[in-house]
C-alpha cells in the first residue's frame, strides 16, 4: 500500500505506508540530516556529501550529474532533491524511470526547518529528531536589527556573491548581518570586485565552498573591508549544522577581532 503527499513544489509523491527504509540523497545538507536521523536508511549520496565524516554509502556522482542507473540499482523508497541544488531535468528523468523524488524548496531558515520537518516526519514517517527540535529553538524569533553589512563571495573569475532571496542571506540576517551586493540584483549576481570593495561593507565572509577561498586567495581583493574565512557548511547547509551555526557565526564575525 502507498500514500501520496505533495513535496515543497506541490508535486504528488507516492510513498510507502510504512516508514521509508531506503533513501538516496542528492543534497549534501539533507544527506547529513538523514544520517543524523535514520542512518540505516541512507543507501546512496552524492560525491559532494561530506558529512558525517564517516559516511559510508554508495556514491551516485554529483548533484548536477547524478548517475540515474546507479540510483535505480539502489532501489530507493525515496530520492531527495532540492530546487536550487539539483537540475529539474534530472528530477524529471528520475521520475520517468519510476523513482519517487521529493524536492525541497528552501530560501529562509524558517522555511528550512518547516521543510525538513515535513520531509522527516510526514514523508519519511520517522520520529522527530532532537537536532531539529534544538535547531528550531536556537533560530526562533524575529530577524534582529543589522549590526554590520557583509559581502559573501561564492566564486571568483568571475566574482559572484550571495544576494537575495537566499537561505544564506536570511541565515546571516538572523545573526545581525545584512548581505550587500554593491547594488547588483539577483540571488547570486556577478560583481566587479573593485566596486564591491569600494562600497565599503563592514565584513567579507570567504567560505570554503563552492570556491575554496584561503588566507592567500581572496582576502587580498578587499583592501577596505575586514575579511574572515568561514566554513561554508555554516552558512549554506540546513540540517544538523544549524545547531552549531549560530554561535560559531556570531563568534567568527565579531568585528572586534584583529584583522
CB 53: neighbour CB atoms within 10 A?
5
The answer on pLDDT for 38 being more than 80 is yes
With 0-12 CB in 10 A as exposed, 13-18 as middle and 19+ as buried, what is 252?
A: middle
Residue 199 pLDDT grade (very low, low, confident, very high; cuts 50, 70, 90): confident
Stretch 231-239: mean pLDDT: 95
**Strands 23-25 vs 78-82: parallel, antiparallel or unpaired:** parallel
The answer on pLDDT for 93 being more than 80 is yes
Residue 75 pLDDT grade (very low, low, confident, very high; cuts 50, 70, 90): very high
Nearest 5°: phi and psi at 162?
-70, 130
**What ranges make up the beta strands (E) of 75-173?**
78-82, 101-104, 148-151, 153-155, 160-161
All structural domains of the chain, each given as residue ranges with its CATH number in brackets, are 2-137 (3.40.50.1980), 148-252 (3.40.50.1980)
With 0-12 CB in 10 A as exposed, 13-18 as middle and 19+ as buried, what is 92?
A: exposed
Residue 35 pLDDT grade (very low, low, confident, very high; cuts 50, 70, 90): very high
* Residue 102 and residue 80 in contact, taking contact as beta carbons nearer than 8 Å: yes
The answer on pLDDT for 258 being more than 90 is no
Q: What pLDDT does 252 receive?
A: 87
The overall pTM is greater than 0.85: yes
* Top-confidence range, 66-75, 200-209, 247-256: 66-75
Q: What pLDDT does 1 receive?
A: 75
Residue 256 pLDDT grade (very low, low, confident, very high; cuts 50, 70, 90): low
Residue 59 pLDDT grade (very low, low, confident, very high; cuts 50, 70, 90): very high
* Residue 166 and residue 196 in contact, taking contact as beta carbons nearer than 8 Å: no
The answer on pLDDT for 212 being more than 70 is yes
Q: What pLDDT does 101 receive?
A: 98
The answer on pLDDT for 237 being more than 60 is yes
The helix-helix angle for 109-117 and 241-252 (nearest 10°) equals 160
Residue 259 pLDDT grade (very low, low, confident, very high; cuts 50, 70, 90): very low
Q: What pLDDT does 149 receive?
A: 95
Taking only the tens place, the pLDDT of each residue in 126-175 is 999 999 999 999 999 999 999 999 999 999 999 999 999 999 999 999 99
Stretch 30-51: mean pLDDT: 97
* Residue 224 and residue 197 in contact, taking contact as beta carbons nearer than 8 Å: yes
Amino acid at each position: 500500500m502507498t500514500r501520496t503527499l505533495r513535496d515543497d513544489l506541490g508535486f504528488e509523491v507516492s510513498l510507502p505506508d510504512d516508514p521509508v527504509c531506503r533513501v538516496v540523497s542528492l543534497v549534501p545538507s539533507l544527506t547529513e540530516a538523514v544520517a543524523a536521523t535514520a542512518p540505516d536508511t541512507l543507501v546512496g549520496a552524492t560525491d559532494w556529501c561530506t558529512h558525517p565524516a564517516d559516511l559510508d554509502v554508495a556514491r551516485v556522482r554529483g548533484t548536477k550529474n547524478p548517475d540515474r542507473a546507479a540510483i535505480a540499482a539502489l532501489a530507493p523508497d525515496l530520492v531527495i532533491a532540492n530546487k536550487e541544488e539539483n537540475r529539474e531535468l534530472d528530477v524529471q528523468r528520475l521520475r520517468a524511470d519510476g523513482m519517487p523524488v521529493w524536492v525541497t524548496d528552501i530560501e529562509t531558515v524558517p522555511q528550512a526547518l518547516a521543510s525538513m520537518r515535513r520531509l522527516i516526519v510526514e514523508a519519511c514517517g520517522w520520529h522527530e529528531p532532537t537536532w531539529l527540535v534544538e535547531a528550531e529553538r536556537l533560530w526562533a524569533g524575529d530577524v534582529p536589527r543589522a549590526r554590520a553589512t557583509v559581502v559573501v563571495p561564492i566564486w571568483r573569475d568571475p566574482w559572484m556573491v550571495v544576494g537575495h532571496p537566499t537561505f544564506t542571506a536570511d541565515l546571516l540576517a538572523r545573526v545581525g548581518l545584512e548581505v550587500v551586493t554593491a547594488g547588483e540584483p539577483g540571488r547570486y549576481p556577478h560583481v566587479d570586485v573593485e566596486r564591491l570593495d569600494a562600497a565599503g561593507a563592514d565584513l567579507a565572509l570567504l567560505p570554503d565552498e563552492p570556491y575554496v577561498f584561503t588566507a592567500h586567495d581572496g582576502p587580498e581583493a578587499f583592501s577596505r573591508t575586514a575579511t574572515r574565512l568561514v566554513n561554508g557548511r555554516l552558512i549554506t547547509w540546513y540540517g544538523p549544522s544549524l545547531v552549531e551555526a549560530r554561535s560559531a557565526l556570531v563568534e567568527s564575525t565579531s568585528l572586534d577581532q584583529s584583522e
